[in-house]
Structure 1
Amino acid sequence: MDFNLTPEQEAFRQSVATFVAREVIPVARELDERGEFPWALFRRCAEMGYLGLRYPEAVGGADADALSFNLMCEELAYGSASLAAVVAMQGLMGTDFVYRFGTDDHKRRLLMPALRGEKIGTIAMTEPDFGSDLGGIQTRAVRDGDGWRLTGRKMWITSATVADFFTVAAKTDPEAGFKGIDMFLVEKGMPGLSVGRRIEKMGVRASETSEVILQDVWVPAENLLGEQGSGFRNLSAILAEIRTMTGALGLGLGRAALDASVKYARERIQFGRPIGQFQAISHKLAEMATQLEAARLLVYQSAWRIAQGRPDMKLAAMAKLFAAEMANKLADEATRIFGSYGFAMEYAPQRYYRDARFLLYGGGTHEILKSVIAKEMGV
């Protein structure tokens, strides 16, 4: 059993870390305050091949393994959770269905430009009244000639304000629950498609999130991504990846909170010595470091299993659950270690605290994940 990264993985991780240190961290506060899609950094990520990391070279990808993809997500989140969120969407959920089920034309016009950062893709599943209960979604897809007509509303859609194409979950059989869900490719400019109000969020503010409205949007038959009735099954095929990736975001954010806390504890002088020399603070830091390492082992093992072609749904749920809770705990502790400065907008801990909340919902709420884990245990 070898817990070390390969030389190639370590070299890649270090290259992303260098990019983050030089180009992301210096502008992370500005990204958060402006709350706009991070175009410049997004294009830099495209130039370095991050968007196509998990895809084969035949479509413009790098054919990297799942652990390398998660290392990238972790390092990006160390610098900016917002940038990490938009890159993860582009490199996984926003493009995966087009890669697996799109036509050659779809791949040429949409997927390959997306991996170059020239087009933006996203996935639209959540609705105003249905989040965890995906089987209850109300968006409908009805046969119409040699195509389908989609009607419904989507909510909390990442990058919708800038997206060129959407993978939309819709019911083709309203009575079939999860089995009645299918995925459709909807392109910007199609009649009836509109992006509604932008949602003002407390965290990951540079990852723009909006509602999407579909009013009798007609799509050709080939825009049904996968066989009819297979949408949820096809989504489940990447669910372990999505949850592991979300856990990797938690690793990066948690590590940023810990590093900031250690640095501050060494520099802040109270009662004649650095506060890190007081047991109350040093024990906080020890506990934070322990939780981070435990989360890393879960996330890396889950990513390794995916790379081996053996994704483990229970392990992925555990990794996401534990890493996201860890990130929230570490961000909270950072604000405490910083004292009143942790409450000041000019210091990073408040941003870590706000950004970490996003991890509690993306990839599945923890109440749902605990039920998934229990079911996998046979309970």
Structure 2
Amino acid sequence: MIRSNAETLIRKSMARFVDHELIPQAQELDEKGDFPREMFRRVGELGVFGLRYPKKDGGSGGNTTLFCVSCEELARGLMSVAAITAMQCLMGTNFLFHYGTEEMRERYWRPAMRGDLVACFCLTEPEAGSDLGNVSTLAEETDDGYVLNGMKTWVTNGPVADFYTVLCQTDPAKKLKGLNFFFIPAGTPGFSHSKAFDLLGTRTTKISEIAFNQCRIPKTHRLGGEGRGLSNLMNILAEIRVMTAALAIGLQRACLTDSIRYARERAQFGRVIGKYQLIQAKIANMATDLEASNLLTYKTTHLIDDRVACLKEASMAKYFATEAACRAADEATRVFGAYAYSMEYTPQRYYRDSRFLLYGGGTHEILQTNLARWAGL
């Protein structure tokens, strides 16, 4: 569904970077499990972090489609680098760009576009995942600002970020209408984070808890109008979901490519296993899922670029593509057989990383409930 030369050019450029720089380091980065700071800076040098933002403001002047193409290619190389990039491009910097002061954008947003600073987004709480009405992190207004108290969990980039966009409740009686986003620089008194979680997959993605204890910030650090937190989040929810679908496509492509290569090389009973129909069926199913995921995902990105409301389409793309990625990762382990159980081969990483896709942007149980309603049930 290519609609412009820009899509072709960005895909070729990102594919070259992934093939020559990311894939050769992917296994080592995954095994070490450290935040890939040098790789992060390299992605920033390519202008990827600013793809969603206008050139006149310091971005790269792209759109959602180009952003998703980049995320897809990075996920083909290493899912955790793609996840960090997605956080930097979208959730971690979006509200600062649109609602921060010029001083805040100059000090934090522009360096983040270059890859000099790491951004972070704090939404989930121990008792508030999909149920945002249950957010309890409280921002109490004072004469000169706000005082924050509460905790966030499953915060991507939590232990390594330089600044945080945090969803808080300012008036518990208003529930969803009392939600607001706030900007918190790292090192603000009263702010702390836990040690990084020990993760099954996306090992270089650092995730932790964040705590606020009498954390004081100025009034200018509220991002958006009072009570507009949920509506402002809804403005980018389709992007969040379709971005996750793009990550899933990248993983599917990696699974399919490696499975085909292995099926052409591995011989059993006197011929390569790719000659056996059951292996061919796995490849056929993976290829069909990939094509369907592409059509759903990039139809949606083009709708977003055309400013057409498409939360339903984005939800379908996220649901289908991420489930397809999990199927592809499972099938890849079956094509590789016992070798997939070895940490030396890629399917074990694909299998671990695929689970990451199921949770962000809405659990599939929530998505299925919404999709059934949109279908007319």
The equivalent residue for 1:223 is: 221
Query: Does the CA contact (< 8 Å) of 1:59 and 1:107 recur in 2?
Result: no
The equivalent residue for 2:173 is: 175
Query: 1:48, CA displacement in angstroms?
Result: 0.7
The equivalent residue for 1:136 is: 134
Query: Does the CA contact (< 8 Å) of 2:159 and 2:195 recur in 1?
Result: no
| SS of match in other structure, 1:203 | coil
Query: 1:59, CA displacement in angstroms?
Result: 2.5
The equivalent residue for 2:152 is: 154
Percent identity reads 48
The equivalent residue for 2:204 is: 206
The equivalent residue for 1:248 is: 246
| SS of match in other structure, 2:173 | coil
Code of the residue aligned with 1:191 in structure 2: it is P
In 2, the alpha carbon distance for the partners of 1:36 and 1:308 equals 39
Query: 1:57, CA displacement in angstroms?
Result: 1.1
Query: 1:5, CA displacement in angstroms?
Result: 3.8
In 2, the alpha carbon distance for the partners of 1:24 and 1:31 equals 9
Query: 1:301, CA displacement in angstroms?
Result: 0.6
2:321 to 303, 320, 323: 323
Say whether 1:31 aligns with 2:32. Answer: no
Query: 1:175, CA displacement in angstroms?
Result: 2.0
Code of the residue aligned with 1:141 in structure 2: it is A
CA deviations on 1:38-81 (whole Å, 9 max, x unpaired) are 11111011111001111111221111021111000000000000
Code of the residue aligned with 2:109 in structure 1: it is L
In 1, the alpha carbon distance for the partners of 2:53 and 2:373 equals 32
- Give the TM-score, by structure 2 length: 0.98
Code of the residue aligned with 1:375 in structure 2: it is R
| SS of match in other structure, 1:160 | coil
The equivalent residue for 1:45 is: 43
Query: 1:378, CA displacement in angstroms?
Result: 3.7
In 2, the alpha carbon distance for the partners of 1:370 and 1:14 equals 35
The 4+ residue runs of structure 1 with deviation greater than 4 A are: none
In 1, the alpha carbon distance for the partners of 2:211 and 2:9 equals 44
Query: 1:4, CA displacement in angstroms?
Result: 3.1
Mark the runs of 5 or more structure 1 residues left unpaired by the alignment: none
CA deviations on 1:125-158 (whole Å, 9 max, x unpaired) are 1112221112101100101112111100110101
Say whether 1:262 aligns with 2:228. Answer: no
The equivalent residue for 1:193 is: 191
The equivalent residue for 2:77 is: 79
| SS of match in other structure, 2:225 | coil
Query: Does the CA contact (< 8 Å) of 2:53 and 2:63 recur in 1?
Result: no
In 2, the alpha carbon distance for the partners of 1:20 and 1:43 equals 14
In 2, the alpha carbon distance for the partners of 1:280 and 1:341 equals 18
The equivalent residue for 2:11 is: 13
Query: 1:191, CA displacement in angstroms?
Result: 0.5
Query: Does the CA contact (< 8 Å) of 1:126 and 1:156 recur in 2?
Result: yes
Aligned pairs for 1:85-96 within 5 A: 85-96=83-94
Query: Does the CA contact (< 8 Å) of 1:157 and 1:211 recur in 2?
Result: yes
The equivalent residue for 2:2 is: 4
The equivalent residue for 1:98 is: 96
CA deviations on 1:210-244 (whole Å, 9 max, x unpaired) are 11010011111111110110001000000000000
CA deviations on 1:72-91 (whole Å, 9 max, x unpaired) are 00000000000000011001
Mark the runs of 5 or more structure 2 residues left unpaired by the alignment: none
Query: 1:375, CA displacement in angstroms?
Result: 2.7
Which has the larger helix fraction?
2
In 1, the alpha carbon distance for the partners of 2:173 and 2:369 equals 24
| SS of match in other structure, 1:177 | helix
The equivalent residue for 1:292 is: 290
Query: 1:332, CA displacement in angstroms?
Result: 0.3
| SS of match in other structure, 2:48 | coil
In 2, the alpha carbon distance for the partners of 1:11 and 1:57 equals 18
Query: Does the CA contact (< 8 Å) of 2:180 and 2:227 recur in 1?
Result: yes
In 2, the alpha carbon distance for the partners of 1:228 and 1:300 equals 34
Superposition RMSD on alpha carbons, in Å? Answer: 0.9
| SS of match in other structure, 2:152 | strand
In 2, the alpha carbon distance for the partners of 1:56 and 1:200 equals 37
Query: Does the CA contact (< 8 Å) of 2:156 and 2:205 recur in 1?
Result: yes
Query: 1:311, CA displacement in angstroms?
Result: 3.3
The equivalent residue for 1:274 is: 272
In 2, the alpha carbon distance for the partners of 1:234 and 1:139 equals 18
Query: 1:303, CA displacement in angstroms?
Result: 0.6
The equivalent residue for 2:300 is: 302
The equivalent residue for 1:124 is: 122
Query: 1:11, CA displacement in angstroms?
Result: 1.4
CA deviations on 1:174-195 (whole Å, 9 max, x unpaired) are 1222222110001111100011
In 1, the alpha carbon distance for the partners of 2:99 and 2:80 equals 28
Query: Does the CA contact (< 8 Å) of 2:202 and 2:356 recur in 1?
Result: yes
Code of the residue aligned with 1:374 in structure 2: it is A
Aligned residues: 377
The equivalent residue for 1:335 is: 333
